[in-house]
Amino acid sequence: MHELSITESIVNMVSDEVKKRNINKVTKINIVLGELTGFEEDSIKFYFDVLSEGTPLYGAILNFKRVKAEFKCRNCGMIYNRENFTFKCPYCGSSGVLIEKGKELYIDSIDVE
């Protein structure tokens, strides 16, 4: 259900830009989405279709670029992606801490006609 409010924000932001620039049709919206946000692409697409109906955004393709979460090992300092739901470093086996990658959620670009 959190996808509804996020999708409303996406529709509102893009609609504001469309109005400012007198754009007739949005064809694609490129979104960067970190895996730790917990948002599902299919749910965002569903809500987008409903919320964009009757607007220049309707029918636009939502293109998602997924960003994997990254961790830094406390022991050896290696940066790695989580595997099999563990936070252990694949290089030395110590615990890692989350760094900023994987929390992203933003509109990267908008394609228009």
Annotated binding site: 2, 73, 76, 89, 92
Q: How far is CA 100 from CA 13, 37, 67, 73, in A?
A: 24, 12, 11, 14
| Binding site feature residues for Zn(2+) | 73, 76, 89, 92
CA–CA separation, 20 vs 28, rounded Å? 18
Nearest 5°: phi and psi at 98? -70, 135
Torsion, Cα of 54, 57, 63, 67 (10° steps): -100
Pick out the residues of the known binding site for Ni(2+).
2
